[in-house]
Amino acid sequence: MDTILATPYRAVGYKRVSAREQVEGHSLDAQEVHIRTFVQAQGWTLMQIYEDAGISAKKGSHRPALEQLLRDAKAGKFDVVVVDKIDRFYRHLGGLLSALDQLNSCGVSFASVQEKLDFVTPWGKLMLTVLGMLAEIYLDNLRQETKKGQRQRARKGMWIGGIPFGYCKGLCANCEDPNGKDYCPNYGNKNLGDGKNIIAHPIESLAVKMVFDWYATGQYTQVQIVHILNETKVSLPDGSEVQLRQKGRKGATNPGLFGRDIVRDMLKRYSYTGKIPYQGIDEQGRHRKRKPPLEVLDGNHPALVSEDIFNKVQEILALVNKNIRYKNGNPVRLFPLTGILRCGYCGSRMRGETTFQDRQVYGDGDRIDHKNNCAQPMADSDVLEEQIYQFLHEVIENSNGNVNLDVLQKEIQVAEQRFLRTREIYISGEITREVFESERNRLESLKRDLRYDFIGATMTSLSLICSGVAEWHSLSQLEQKRLLQLAIEAAWVRENAIVAVQPSIAFLSLLSTYSDGNMGEMGIRTRG
């Protein structure tokens, strides 16, 4: 019978001292001696000793060697981790349990020399599994408590998370803000805040207001605003001037020039209206960034911009999202029908562009991207936009401003019947679930839009549409696009002519009083 020799465990050690412990004479060398002696006594092979010197083991501390150890454990580079004492590994119970659970999931055991804990034996492995279960329970409870604490703090109007550009803690006497010393006129003076609530930064808040005011005019792109910010100086009370600058990120970038990303994030930050959009925390205990807020609450911090200005900016951001207004530093045409126009042959979206011959056209997006060979040629932008204007103008002129709100209820009935037919087809297996869900979402959206309090919004939208059409040729391309978004959901084109229009809910109530929604010679229909 052959003798099978057991392969010795591959062991690694971990040692750590904080900066204070180094001063007080605690030795990394002593830890290493204890680890080596223990490994040798077990008959294991010592592969490596990881070392974090001058670093605390408290919760949230950054320990490069420990992080590398955990990565190597996941890569299967060793079988057991040995420490001199558990507090060298973690002082925080949650962190310890979490780390042990990570090691266990990688098939790596753990041993402590001083506490005589050895998770290599069968009983030790069982204990490690139990500790992993305790870690899961502990961390889950911790997350729940953190969520409750964060939400309660938000409900009290207190800011959560990193302080956004434009605000500071107001602790001027002992200011640690990147835009404090040699920048803020209140640096080193009496505190303007209590540190619990954020206040408007004397200079940064001015930059925020300027950015929103400039962009709300519709005359500036984000790139232009970046250039203006980086050339703008602010006068201080003592008569001196400071150059506007962004805050930077601690440990990553220093205060300096603004970039487009900073301006874009600034324009989207709802907290500048004095509100706290509470987004909650995820399963890892981190803030759910860039997620729809679970709750919008009144904040204790001052508003830097009004809600009207903020909403106007969001509208412009949505309108120009798919339109490049500047290319290579030169202004280019904004196409009002981009996002609305569809190909009448294949149904794909049409988008505006300028050809090499400087011709302004709308083209089939899929054909431009070489996804199909649709027969739809490039359509002249001026011709299509004029047809849409004539359609809106003629409807308004011939309806005499009469509004038929009954048509809104009829629209729901039509949508419900269409949904029932779609459901029957789906059950029979003739269409996909995706198509069925799309139709159901359409019905729910329509019902939501046509609730009773929507009637007032409908009348407001109609007023804006009528006044906008009356001034159509004097409107900017951005203003024309905003008007079309109010009046039309989609329009279809074949060759060089608009052949069908799907009006918005607001415009539908007016269109229904005009020749049953038929455009006559142009053949434009309303919906479906």
Confidence of residue 384 (pLDDT cuts 50, 70, 90): very high
pLDDT for 328 equals 53
Q: What are phi and psi of 19, to 5 degrees?
A: -60, -40
pLDDT for 4 equals 40
Q: Does 5 have pLDDT greater than 50?
A: no
Higher pLDDT, 124 or 491: 491
Confidence of residue 219 (pLDDT cuts 50, 70, 90): confident
Q: What are phi and psi of 47, to 5 degrees?
A: -85, -40
Distance between CA atoms of 134 and 130, rounded to whole angstroms?
A: 6
Work out the mean pLDDT of the chain and round it to a whole number: 77
3-state secondary structure of 499: strand
CATH T-level topology, domain 10-152: Rossmann fold (3.40.50)
Task: Give me the DSSP letters along 295-315.
Answer: EEEE-SSPPSS-HHHHHHHHH
List, for residues 310-352, the tens digit of each pLDDT value: 988 888 887 765 555 555 555 556 788 888 899 988 888 888 8
Token pair of 186 as six digits: 């209140």
pTM of whole model > 0.75?
A: no
pLDDT for 444 equals 73
- Report domain extents, the chain: 10-152, 167-319, 341-522
**Residues contacting 110, CB < 8 A, separation 6+:** 80, 81, 82, 83, 100, 103, 117, 119, 128
- Residues 351, 362 contacting (CB under 8 angstroms): yes
List, for residues 235-263, the tens digit of each pLDDT value: 888 888 889 999 877 656 778 888 888 89
Distance between CA atoms of 86 and 82, rounded to whole angstroms?
A: 9
Q: Does 148 have pLDDT greater than 80?
A: no
- Residues 313, 298 contacting (CB under 8 angstroms): no
pLDDT for 460 equals 63
CATH T-level topology, domain 167-319: Hect, E3 ligase catalytic domain fold (3.90.1750)
Helix (H) or strand (E) holding 492: strand 488-494
Higher pLDDT, 448 or 43: 43
pLDDT for 303 equals 93
A 10 A CB-CB count for 468 gives: 18
Distance between CA atoms of 500 and 300, rounded to whole angstroms?
A: 51
